[in-house]
Amino acid sequence: MTTTSESATRHLTPGTKIVNMLDGEVGTIREVCTFRRSGNGAHSYVVETAGGREVWYASEVFVPCVDQT
């Protein structure tokens, strides 16, 4: 079953800052790597990190809240 947060991370755009839930690493989406079989949303993203480019699954990331105060 897909949760609301997992659904939300399947439609992110390039340039979006994200955090990997597995290790807390921060990265920026460069492009969609693979799409879901249904064609509705991303299955994984190519992410630019401090260590280079990596592929992260959409279900393993979240978009951090930006404090605008």
52-64 pLDDT, tens digit per residue, is 999 999 999 999 9
- Domain spans of the chain? 4-62
Average confidence (pLDDT) over 17-33:
97
Question: How confident is residue 8, by pLDDT bands cut at 50, 70 and 90?
Answer: confident
Q: Are 11 and 5 in contact (CB under 8 A)?
A: no
- Cβ count near 9 (within 10 Å): 24
Q: What CATH topology corresponds to 4-62?
A: SH3 type barrels. (2.30.30)
pTM of the model as a whole:
0.84
Is residue 34 predicted with pLDDT exceeding 70? yes
What DSSP element (H or E) covers 52? strand 52-57
Q: What is the pLDDT of residue 5?
A: 61
Do residues 55 and 43 make contact, with C-beta atoms less than 8 angstroms apart? no
Q: Is residue 40 predicted with pLDDT exceeding 50? A: yes
